[in-house]
Structure 1
Amino acid sequence: MTKQDIHQQFIRQLENELDAITSAAKSSFSTATSEAHHAEGKYDTFSLETSYLARGQARRVEELRQALERLQQLPLRGLAGADPVQLSALVRLQGANGEKRVLFFGSAGGGERIQVNGEDIVIVTSQSPLGRAVLGKTAGEQFTISLAGSIQVFTIMSVA
């Protein structure tokens, strides 16, 4: 699968998430503003709770919309093995313990994950610790990072 295919698969995934959360937000808003759900007493907080939920979901809709827009506008660069990790890079890492990771360096959507040919590919951004650690590095370089409370060493196997 090419980098363009991976990029498009991430875009489709964000579109699907955006559709699902938009639908949920509309439903929550409808429930929160429904006459049938107004407080019947001082201890009836259902309407208040659903309004909080609707507000949180509306924020998530906006976050996803912005992430999707930024990912759609991301120019894909044709990178060679000697190029440093930068936006749109597909980076293969290997940990000192043999663990392998594949990262797509994006402008938004950090943490999104897809599976391609049995391999997990995760979006990282420059805002994440892992993204900051790999940014600007080239194939063959090693780096150390604290992940989940433990120090880990990775080697950059390739940049494409």
Structure 2
Amino acid sequence: MLDKTELLNSIVLELKEARDKAAQAADSAKETATNKENVAENKYDTLGLEAAYLAHGQSDRILQLEEALRLFEQMEISQTREVTMGSLVELENERGGNSFVFVGPSSGGLKVTCSNLPIQVITPVAPLGQMLMGAQVGDEVTLGIGKQTNIFRVVAVC
């Protein structure tokens, strides 16, 4: 498998980039919301109001990203035989395809590339995360999404 310190650094870098983009978007939305040219001339002129809502949403996103950064920066790297918080897991699907997931404290769905491997962050509360917690190499987990059932075999845990 790969170095989890390198993986955590990749996740933190990705989160910092997302935070910086959100900050730029928030600044732009605030500028639009407070620009004198965007003062409403009638009740249908809502550009300034929409920009204010957008700025607020971006500010909330920044707070979420900063919390995620804090959580990932405080993670301790450990090696276990079973899937726990902080585990990097290699899965094999029914068709023989392999994928990698990292069980993190937040930011489920975030995708990073580390050592040329695509890795998706999942959380213990996500459906796949719930199924994997406590699993060991060789275990199979079944994940049903709608009418589709997917079976994954745990190939490696680090």
TM-score grouping bracket, smaller chain normalisation:
over 0.9
Shift of 1:118: 3.7
Change (3 A) 1:15 1:92: same
Write the letter of the residue equivalent to 1:18. R
Which runs of 4 or more aligned residues in structure 1 lie more than 6 Å from their structure 2 counterparts after TM superposition?
Answer: none
Percent pairwise identity: 29
TM-score, normalised to structure 2, is: 0.94
Contact 2:29–2:55 (8 Å) recurs in 1: yes
Change (3 A) 1:7 1:149: farther
Shift of 1:149: 4.9
2:41 is aligned to 40
Q: Does 1:157 align with 2:158?
A: no
Which of 83, 88, 91 in structure 1 is aligned with 2:89?
91
Change (3 A) 1:25 1:148: farther
Contact 2:10–2:114 (8 Å) recurs in 1: no
TM-score, normalised to structure 1, is: 0.93
Q: CA RMSD in A?
A: 1.3
2:103 is aligned to 105
2:112 is aligned to 114
**Unmatched tracts of structure 2, length 5 or more:** none
Distance in 2 between residues matched to 1:32 and 1:159, nearest whole Å: 49
Give per-residue Cα distances to partners, 1:29-61, cap 9 Å, x unaligned: 121122221101121111111111111111111
Q: How many residues align?
A: 157
2:128 is aligned to 130
